[in-house]
Amino acid sequence: MPKDETSTSNYTGPIPDPDILTAKEFWEGTQNQNLVLPKCKSCKEFFFYPRIICPKKGCHKTDIIWEVASGKGYLYTFAIQHVAIDGWKEKLPFVTAFIDTDEKVRMLSVLKNVDASQPQSIIIGSRVEVKFEYVNDDISIPYWEIINDK
Amino acid sequence: MTNNKLRRAAAIVGVGESDKFGFDTNKTSLMLHTEAIISATNDAGLDIDEIDGLFITGGAGRFPAIAMAEYLGIRPKYVDNTYVGGAGFIVFVNHAVAAINAGIIDTAVISHGEVGHSIRQRGNKGTGGGFNYDPWDPSMQFEQIYGLWGAPAYYAHAMNRYMYEFNVSKEDFAQIAVVAREWATLNPKAVMHSKETHPFGGPIDIKTVLDSRPIAWPLNLLDCCLVTDHGGAVVITSKDRANDFKNIPVWIDGSAEAISHINMSQMQDMTETSAKESSKRAYAMAGLGPADMEMAMLYDSFTYTAGVTAEMVGLAPRGQGTDLWKNGAASPGGKFPINTNGGGLSYSHSGMYGILLLIEAQRQLAQKAIGLPGRQTNAKSAIINGTGGPLASTGTIIVSVDK
């Protein structure tokens, strides 16, 4: 997917140094607005964060493959941050969330386009979809939005 | 898994705190450690040179146990600086019991000193700054990018999920802070004892908690523990030596530890902590159960931590932990006192609070809880549970005195 016309970034948060040893596929995926997740070739289960061993009980094999994920999931829980580290302070208050993706992995992220002043309006269990904020040509940062999709 | 031969293999025989604690102590962390160790060894009647096991975490640099031994001028034959957050001191009891039972050491000192408040004032000046975290560490790669600031940012997610699953409200949790303050008003040493000890000290009600500024919804400021300077230390010795000291032995009937995750994305059910496992093992070692307990010290880094822990250690059914505080059981004069010093919420909390749970339980069981009428309970047994990191680790201790 093409980047926006100017390929400039309004991102002000901390920029991660991509781990090219265990998370290369994940960060490359973000360049194309894809959520790419590690999967154990043996037990066929996805997991997150990326690592060199399958963390599933009874497996712990080391043959890891990568697949483009659905990019959809459910809102497991959220919090409304009123204090933040540098780079996020100007966005206060904002909503952070743990997402359970359809591949059954849980990720911490930010939930955008919700009303941070009305926590009761944000419903746990809502269907969510991943989006990406362009940072530079190496990475985009995943965030999530609530969607109407049963 | 039971290990009954460890039951009463060791006892707590001395406790102590730094000469000053709270805000602006004007001390270093090593001074706080040292004052606490002097106080605890004096309390027990132990010579500092008799310390043969030293268990230290926090506030003493990168090599805490060695640094502390060097500072004191002792050469213990057993050292441990296991780092599992504020639960560490409870976990140390578990380790000390094992080392004592194995015959490796006779007498252990567990110590803590941390300038949680002062470091914020002084800043990381000179050569003190820099954490040297690996930028490829998973938490740096996938969590730090989202702006989360400290423990409340994480705990708030767990509390919200709990509120959703069990239909429990912010008001229900606020009552835990209110009761902690009730205990603090009976304890002149508590940071939030009164207007004399702190401008915002003295009694509070639910509205005070709900009106305090939001930190990370659903956590308000008064749902969060204090950030202070504090030193604390505990002396533990073997069964054979337990009666050689000045205090009545507070026997360690059960001890256990458990861990679950460090990145909170790996916490499968945010409404459960590993205290479920550590308490089960500690009860099994003690041959006791929740019904045998007469009071509890439950790490209250946040109101949520105490509430959910009450359930994990079997003191309340699932979803009903806050009832202990709402129905008066946990309050002064109540039938099941909890956090009788005023807790991390209102007594003191330097960043790693676990040592203060041990100190208060010893004082209650040894009938040495000084303060206003009502502070000293009649409890002869207690369950102590520490929680560390982002609900990541727990240690549970069961203690009792002979009736």
Of B132, B133, B142, B264, which to mutate for an interface test with A (greatest number of A Cβ within 10 Å)? Answer: B142
From chain B, the residues in CB contact with A15 under 8 A are 145
Q: What is the pLDDT of residue B119?
A: 80
Of B140, B145, B261, which to mutate for an interface test with A (greatest number of A Cβ within 10 Å)? Answer: B145
Minimal Cβ distance to A78: which of B140, B157, B266: B157
Specify the higher pLDDT residue, B1 or B365.
B365
Minimal Cβ distance to B146: which of A55, A82, A109: A109
Minimal Cβ distance to B141: which of A19, A79, A80: A19
From chain A, the residues in CB contact with B147 under 8 A are 13-14, 81, 84-85, 87-88, 91, 94, 96, 110
Q: How far apart are the first and last CA of chain B?
A: 28
Q: Which CATH architecture has domain A24-146?
A: Beta Barrel (2.40)
Is the Cβ pair A13, B143 closer than 8 Å? no
Is the Cβ pair B265, A49 closer than 8 Å? yes
pLDDT 10s digits, B11-34: 999 999 999 999 988 999 999 999
B157 interfaces chain A, CB cutoff of 8 Å: yes
CA distance A110 to chain B (A): 7
Give chain A's length. 150
Give domain limits for chain A.
24-146
Query: Is residue B127 predicted with pLDDT exceeding 70?
Result: no
Local confidence band at B118 (pLDDT 50, 70, 90 cut-offs):
confident
Separation of alpha carbons B297 and B363, rounded Å: 12
pLDDT 10s digits, A79-119: 999 999 989 999 999 999 999 999 999 999 999 999 999 99
Coil, strand, or helix at residue A73?
A: strand
Segment B61-82 shows an average pLDDT of 96
Of A17, A80, A115, which to mutate for an interface test with B (greatest number of B Cβ within 10 Å)? Answer: A80
Is the Cβ pair A49, B213 closer than 8 Å? no
Is the Cβ pair B153, A83 closer than 8 Å? yes
From chain A, the residues in CB contact with B214 under 8 A are 80, 82, 93
CA distance A118 to chain B (A): 10
Of A21, A37, A82, which to mutate for an interface test with B (greatest number of B Cβ within 10 Å)? Answer: A82
From chain A, the residues in CB contact with B212 under 8 A are none
B261 interfaces chain A, CB cutoff of 8 Å: no
Domains and CATH numbers, chain B: 4-122+227-400 (3.40.47.10)
Q: Mind giving me the DSSP string for A24-64?
A: HHHHHHHHTT--EEEEETTT--B-SS--SS--STTT----E
Q: For all residues of chain B together, what is the average pLDDT?
A: 95
CB atoms within 10 A of CB A62: 12
Separation of alpha carbons A102 and A70, rounded Å: 7
Segment B291-320 shows an average pLDDT of 98
CA distance A133 to chain B (A): 12
pLDDT 10s digits, B144-168: 899 999 999 999 999 999 999 999 9
* Contact residues, chain A to chain B, C-beta under 8 Å: 13-19, 21-23, 48-51, 55, 76-85, 87-88, 91, 93-94, 96-98, 106-110, 119, 124, 141
Query: Is residue B73 predicted with pLDDT exceeding 70?
Result: yes
Local confidence band at B224 (pLDDT 50, 70, 90 cut-offs):
very high
B344 interfaces chain A, CB cutoff of 8 Å: no
Query: Is residue B283 predicted with pLDDT exceeding 90?
Result: yes
Q: Tell me the Cα Rg of chain A.
A: 16
Q: What is the pLDDT of residue A1?
A: 45
**Interior/surface letters B185-210, b for 16+ CB within 10 angstroms, e for the rest:** bbbebbbbbeeebbeebbebebebbb
Beta bridge partners, A145, equal A112, A129
ipTM, two decimals, is 0.95
CB A70 within 8 A of CB A61: no
Of B120, B159, B160, which to mutate for an interface test with A (greatest number of A Cβ within 10 Å)? Answer: B160
Per the listing, tokens 């941070």 go with: A116
User: At B21, phi and psi to the nearest 5?
Assistant: -150, 170
Local confidence band at B128 (pLDDT 50, 70, 90 cut-offs):
low
Q: What is the pLDDT of residue A5?
A: 47
Is the Cβ pair A96, B157 closer than 8 Å? yes
Q: For all residues of chain A together, what is the average pLDDT?
A: 94
CA distance B341 to chain A (A): 29
CB B18 within 8 A of CB B36: yes
